Amino acid sequence: MEESILSQKKLLLVDDEPDILAVLEKEILDACPDCKIEKAMNFADAAELLEANEYDLVVLDIMGVRGFDLLEIAVAKRCKVAMLTAHALNPEALKKSHDMGAMAYLPKDKLGEIVPFLEDVLQYDYRSGWKGLMGKLGDYYTRKFGSSEWKDQFQW
């Protein structure tokens, strides 16, 4: 088996739902046992960790932890960020994530496939990463959003 690009990377996982954090951690460590993972369940703890540490990758829930505020902090520190959501799964949140510098916008119902998405976040630059993500999830978003008009806002 080929070694994951996540190997020996330091990740911060932020979600207000402990079961989501547990699934994320398990999926990542099953694929890459030598990842270093830190977790936070609220804005204050996550902001403190972001200010005090360097991370190769940050995974942020949007709702419940002020994900967009954390995104701003993480991007300012030049962290690669993947936004993760269930309740904010809409074209506006996708666009805001993109425009604020997130590298990916992932639905929580794809947690079982999270590792390849996170590997892509680390592997590709901003434009290539979003283009690849839309190649993989564009049809999914169109089904969820009920229309393909959301794509008109972007130039991949």
User: What is the 3-state secondary structure of the chain?
Assistant: CCCCCCCCCEEEEECCCHHHHHHHHHHHHHHCCCCEEEEECCHHHHHHHHHHCCCCEEEEECCCCCHHHHHHHHHHCCCEEEEEECCCCCHHHHHHHHHHCCCEEEEHHHHHHHHHHHHHHHHCCHHHHHHHHHHHHHHHHHHHHCCCHHHHHCCC
- Specify the pLDDT at position 156: 62
pLDDT > 90? residue 44: yes
Q: Average the pLDDT over each of 18-22, 31-35, 124-128 and give the range with the smallest value.
A: 124-128
pLDDT (tens digit per residue) in 96-108: 999 999 999 999 9
Mean pLDDT of the 35-42 span: 98
Q: Which domains does the chain have, with CATH numbers?
A: 10-148 (3.40.50.2300)
pLDDT > 90? residue 3: no
- Specify the pLDDT at position 2: 75
Predicted TM-score (pTM) of this structure: 0.94
pLDDT > 90? residue 154: no
**Mean of per-residue pLDDT scores for the chain:** 94
Mean pLDDT of the 14-19 span: 96
pLDDT > 90? residue 14: yes
